Amino acid sequence: MDAEELIESIIRALMFLAGILGNNWLAIRSLPRQKSGIRTNEVLFINLAVSNLITNWLVDLPDTMADFAGRWFLGETFCAVFRFCADLSETSSIFSTFFISVFWHQKLVGSLKRGGAPVQLDSLCLVGCLLAGSWTVAVVFSIPHFFFVAVEGRNESEEDCVDVFPSALARQTYEIVYLTLANALPVAGIVFASVQIVITLLKNRQRIQGHNSDATKEMKGENKSTESRNDKPVSTVSGPEASKDPEDPASSNHIYTGVTGSSCPNGELSGHSAPLNRETNTDSGVGAPPNLPRPSQVRAKPNPSSSTQVRAAKSVVAVAAVFLVCWLTHLLLRITNNIHTSSMLVEVASYIAASYTCIIPYIFLYGVKKLSCSCKR
């Protein structure tokens, strides 16, 4: 094994270890503590983790071992299992990512626009049917690999596990149908759901900024009106016993008692005797404060549920970005391989698929705040 092949094998081994750790972590952290407390997002995450673990254990590990050995040494029987599991886990992982994207888009819209109202994918029965259908599609497209595989030798010392279809037309027909139904359509759905999530987040951000600016303007207007009322001269106080002479002790006592009292919110003092003012001031301590803010000025505290939905939705967008980079490249390579067969293209496509399965578990764990090692939930 030369240096280039050794580096490729080490990289593949590291990707395998990262995928094993991340997907096991995602599955364990998604397990509910009680059977009655299982939720839709946990089912979807567990399904995604299982799909990726099939890739890690039955595709990445044998491929890594074959890379270090320099040839395929596991026999033709396991070659069929290897090819079957490759398409099975790939298809299931794509559909799982699609369902997760749609689910978090619905939860985000339901949280921000409908006050956290239940959504369609909150139904465990519906999600179970969708997942069962996706696994059925994955099995149907993977069955041909049990019959059309072989271990071929590229030279005297190297052997490789490859697909061998009866004819080039049969191979192209299978690849076109498979890539269209199990790759292109789910990818289009993931893109659409991710774009809708981004649009919803941007609209919500603009709405929050508009509310904050309106509240700030109202607060400034209220402060200005309060200052203008406070600037009114206190000598305008009138009453039956109020003296017009500012040096009159009774007048001074009256003004002092009225100004210090908090029972007149608008700064207008009642024209009664000092004892009555003292009584009024004493009673005002029990009453409501005069300068209560308007309801529009009180900022609503952010809903913890909404912030959780937003964080998870952002993680879905990040996963969608990684997904598009990996799977669109993977899709293009497989299409190119149908036109011009090349073992190098198949190898690169395999590396790209493996990189996806070892990255997305950590993004989802971060998005749902389960990346820590704490056992608290």
Q: Are residues 48 and 118 in the same domain?
A: yes
Beta bridge partners of 199: none
Q: Are residues 154 and 268 in the same domain?
A: no
CA distances from 121 to 102, 208, 224, 263, 369 (A): 8, 27, 51, 56, 21
User: What's the pLDDT score for residue 335?
Assistant: 76
Give percent above pLDDT 70 in the chain. Answer: 71
Better-scored residue on pLDDT, 337 or 86: 86
d(CA 370, CA 374): 8
* Per-residue tokens: 25: 């972590």
User: What's the pLDDT score for residue 226?
Assistant: 67
pLDDT tens digits along 2-29: 787 788 888 889 999 999 999 999 999 9
Say how many CA atoms lie within 13 Å of 38 toward its Cβ.
14
Q: Are residues 184 and 259 in the same domain?
A: no
Domain-located, residue 144: yes
Better-scored residue on pLDDT, 218 or 293: 218
Q: Are residues 144 and 194 in the same domain?
A: yes
User: What's the pLDDT score for residue 252?
Assistant: 41
Domain-located, residue 153: yes
Q: Are residues 148 and 270 in the same domain?
A: no
Q: What share of the chain is helix, strand, coil (3-state, %, to 5)?
A: 75, 5, 25
What band does 130 get if pLDDT is binned at 50, 70 and 90?
very high
Q: Are residues 198 and 264 in the same domain?
A: no
DSSP tag of 269: P
Dihedral angle computed from the Cα positions of residues 353, 366, 185 and 122, in that order, rounded to the nearest 10 degrees: 140
CATH number of the domain where residue 192 is located: 1.20.1070.10
Could you say which of 284, 306, 334 is where a domain stops?
284
What band does 51 get if pLDDT is binned at 50, 70 and 90?
very high
Our count of domains for the chain comes to 2
Phi-psi region of 261 (alpha: psi -120 to 50; beta: other; left: phi over 0): beta
Q: Are residues 73 and 144 in the same domain?
A: yes
pLDDT tens digits along 231-255: 555 444 444 444 444 444 444 444 3
Can you tell me which residue has the tokens 């001074």? 252
Domain-located, residue 301: no
What band does 373 get if pLDDT is binned at 50, 70 and 90?
low
User: What's the pLDDT score for residue 8?
Assistant: 81
Say how many CA atoms lie within 13 Å of 250 toward its Cβ.
12
- Range with the largest mean pLDDT of 27-41, 133-147, 152-166, 173-187: 133-147
Judged by average pLDDT, the poorest of 40-44, 193-197, 214-218 is 214-218
Mean of pLDDT over the chain? 76
Domain-located, residue 63: yes
Domain-located, residue 157: yes
d(CA 367, CA 319): 10
Report whether pLDDT(285) > 60. Answer: no
Q: Are residues 128 and 198 in the same domain?
A: yes
Judged on CB neighbours under 10 Å (0-12, 13-18, 19+), 335 is middle
Q: Are residues 7 and 73 in the same domain?
A: yes
Domain-located, residue 235: no
d(CA 269, CA 277): 9
- Following DSSP, what letter does each residue of 125-138 receive, concatenated? HHHHHHHHHHHHHH
CB 151 within 8 A of CB 159: yes
What band does 213 get if pLDDT is binned at 50, 70 and 90?
confident
Q: Are residues 353 and 261 in the same domain?
A: no
Residue 74: partners with Cβ closer than 8 Å, 6 or more residues away: 62, 65, 66, 82, 161
CB 258 within 8 A of CB 264: yes
Domain span at residue 258 reads 245-284
Could you say which of 264, 284, 304 is where a domain stops?
284
User: What's the pLDDT score for residue 325?
Assistant: 83
Domain-located, residue 181: yes
User: What's the pLDDT score for residue 264?
Assistant: 37
CA distances from 373 to 131, 140, 176, 365 (A): 29, 38, 44, 11
Domain-located, residue 374: no
d(CA 137, CA 177): 12
Q: Are residues 176 and 264 in the same domain?
A: no
Q: Are residues 77 and 172 in the same domain?
A: yes
Q: Find the mean pLDDT for residues 143-160.
A: 80
